[in-house]
């Protein structure tokens, strides 16, 4: 089971597309580590995922504002909610490493849904403008 990048996610904005490939790859690695029972790896990758998202979201939210993307507030709130939830889960995993499997699932599911729903809509909007990047 893995998330795949596909053309429907292509915005033509190089930094954005590269970040999305990176996010998907991290989410797949977290899930694989969780399934293999490598709890320390899950925690390490989850922290990496969280900081990757911090940087990516700043860029993406600025981009959405700059292009006047109508759904930017709901898109942003999917980012904010995930970071808040993940922060709580990471705190929990620090005191109970057994919870890392739940965390791996959370990251994987969020990424799959965020890509399929929010990023796909954003890519459609950018492509419809005809000047992606
Ligand atoms: Fe994104
Ligand atoms: Fe996003």
Task: Specify the CATH number for the domain of residue 42.
Answer: 1.20.120.50
**Predicted confidence band at 132 (pLDDT cuts at 50, 70, 90)?**
very low
> 118 C-alpha vs ligand 2 centroid, how far in Å?
6
State pLDDT tens for residues 24-72: 999 999 999 999 999 999 999 999 999 999 999 999 999 999 999 999 9
Does residue 20 belong to any structural domain of this protein? Answer: no
> 101 C-alpha vs ligand 2 centroid, how far in Å?
24
Please state the domain count of the chain. Answer: 1
> 24 C-alpha vs ligand 2 centroid, how far in Å?
12
Does residue 120 belong to any structural domain of this protein? Answer: yes
Look up the pTM and report it.
0.95
| Alpha carbon separation from 2 to 14, 76, 116, 130 (Å, rounded) | 23, 24, 13, 31
| pLDDT number for residue 131 | 58
Transcribe the chain into DSSP letters: ------GGG--S-HHHHHHHHHHHHHHHHHHHHHHTT-HHHHHHHHHHHHHHHHHHHHHHHHHHHHTT-TTHHHHHHHHHHHHHHHHHHHHHHHH-GGGHHHHHHHHHHHHHHIIIIIIHHHHHHHHHHT---
CB atoms within 10 A of CB 110: 19
State pLDDT tens for residues 81-116: 999 999 999 999 999 999 999 999 999 999 999 999
> 16 C-alpha vs ligand 2 centroid, how far in Å?
10
Ligand nearest to the CA of 74: 2
> 76 C-alpha vs ligand 2 centroid, how far in Å?
7
CB atoms within 10 A of CB 33: 21
Does residue 119 belong to any structural domain of this protein? Answer: yes
CA pair distance 63, 68, nearest whole angstrom: 9
Does residue 1 belong to any structural domain of this protein? Answer: no
> 106 C-alpha vs ligand 2 centroid, how far in Å?
16
Does residue 58 belong to any structural domain of this protein? Answer: yes
């Amino acid at each position: 089971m893995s998330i795949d990048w596909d053309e429907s996610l292509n915005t033509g904005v190089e930094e954005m597309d590269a970040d999305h490939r990176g996010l998907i790859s991290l989410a797949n690695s977290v899930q694989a580590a969780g399934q293999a029972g490598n709890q320390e790896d899950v925690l390490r990758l989850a922290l990496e995922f969280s900081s990757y998202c911090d940087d990516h979201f700043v860029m993406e939210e600025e981009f959405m504002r700059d292009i006047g993307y109508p759904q930017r507030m709901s898109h942003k709130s999917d980012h904010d909610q995930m970071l808040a939830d993940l922060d709580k889960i990471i705190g929990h995993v620090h005191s109970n490493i057994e919870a890392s499997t739940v965390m791996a699932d959370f990251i994987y599911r969020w990424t799959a849904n965020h890509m399929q729903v929010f990023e796909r809509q954003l890519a459609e909007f950018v492509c419809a403008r005809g000047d992606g990047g």
